[in-house]
Amino acid sequence: MKRTELIMGMPITVAIPDRERMDDVGPQTRFATVADAADAVFEYFRAVDEQFSPYKPTSETSRIDRGELSEAQASPEMLEVLRLSEETRKETDGYFDVRFKGRFDPSGLVKGWAIYRAARILDDDGFISFCIEAGGDIEVRGANDEGQPWAIGLRSPFDPSKLIRKLALPGCGIATSGTYIRGEHIYNPRTGSAANEIASFTVIGPNVYEADRFATAAFAMGKAGIEFMAARPDLDAYMVEWSGTATYTPGFARFIQS
C-alpha cells in the first residue's frame, strides 16, 4: 500500500507493505488493515496542520504569533515544539531560530517532528515496516514490499526529474535541505559570503526529526556544513555543490546502493 495526499502544502506519502496486516492482529492493535493505519497517519498530519500552520489564522501558531496566546497558555504539543526549537537554536549556534523579525514560525522544525510522531503511531500499533515521507523527508522502518531495504533516491538539484544516487536504508530518518533555484542565496555571517555554493544537503540520522533539523542548519552553514556533520558520529551527510561536486561522510558510503 502506498498513498499520497497533499497536506501542509506538501505531498505526504505513506508506504506500508501489505504483509504487515495479513496475519491475525491482536485485539490490542487499533488498525485492522494497512489502509486504516495510513488513514490515521494522514489524519494526524491534518491535525498538525490545523494546530501549527502559520497560514491558518485559527492555528495555535498564528495565535501565538499575534500575541493572543502566551507560551504559558500553550498546548502540550506546542510546549514540546518550543522546547525542541530552543534546544536546536542552541545546538546550531543560532543557525536555526523559529523567531525572527518579531514573528513566530516553527514550520522548519514541525515537519520533521510531525513525521517522527506519525511514525510512532505505527510503531505503537506493532508495525515493523513502513515509510512516511513529507516534502522529501522520510522516516524509514524495516523492509519494503519485496522484503528488501527501502530504496530511497536522492533527487538531483540540477534536474528535479532525475536522481543522483540510490540508497538502501535501514530503520532511520533522511532529510534533504536545499533549493532547486540557483541564485537563491543565503547569507553566512561567519564567512561574509552572500552566495551559497551548496545546492542540496542530505542528512541521514537516527530519526527524521534529527536529520531534518541538522540538514536545515548544515545547509545554512555552506561548505562547512559537511565538516560539522563529519564530527557528529550519529549523523551522516551527502552535500552537493552547484559545481557538480558531491562530498559525503565516510559513514554515508554504507547506504549507497548505486
Partner 1 sequence: MKNTTRTRIAAGAIAGAMSLGAVSQVTALTANAVAGLKSGTFTGRREYAYYGYVRVQAVVQSGKVVDVKILEYPSDNGRSRYINSIALPYLIQETVDAQSYRVDLISGATFTSSAFVKSVTDALRQAGA
Residues numbered 21-80 forming contacts with partner 1, rule: CB under 8 A: none
Is 157 a residue that touches partner 1 (CB under 8 A)?
Answer: yes
Residues numbered 171-210 forming contacts with partner 1, rule: CB under 8 A: 174-181, 184-192, 200, 202
- Measured from the CB of residue 19, what is the shortest distance to partner 1 in angstroms? 15
| Position among 166, 197, 206, 234 found at the interface with partner 1 (CB under 8 A) | 166
Would you tell me how many other CB atoms lie within 10 Å of the CB of residue 216? 23
Return all residues near 204 (Cβ < 8 A) that are at least 6 apart: 167, 169, 172, 173, 174, 211, 235, 236, 237, 252, 255
Is 233 a residue that touches partner 1 (CB under 8 A)?
Answer: yes
d(CA 111, CA 42): 13
Stretch that binds partner 1, among 29-37, 62-70, 79-87, 216-224 (CB under 8 A): 216-224
Angle, nearest 10°, between helix axes 107-124 and 208-221?
Answer: 160
Q: What is the 3-state secondary structure (H, E, C) of 194-215?
A: CCCCEEEEEEEECCHHHHHHHH
| Position among 124, 163, 195, 206 found at the interface with partner 1 (CB under 8 A) | 163
Is 159 a residue that touches partner 1 (CB under 8 A)?
Answer: yes
Angle, nearest 10°, between helix axes 76-91 and 34-52?
Answer: 80
Residue (63 or 232) nearer to partner 1, CB: 232
- Measured from the CB of residue 249, what is the shortest distance to partner 1 in angstroms? 6
| Position among 31, 216, 235, 255 found at the interface with partner 1 (CB under 8 A) | 216
| Position among 41, 138, 172, 235 found at the interface with partner 1 (CB under 8 A) | 138
Q: Taking the chain, what is the end-to-end CA distance rounded to the nearest angstrom?
A: 25
Is 108 a residue that touches partner 1 (CB under 8 A)?
Answer: yes
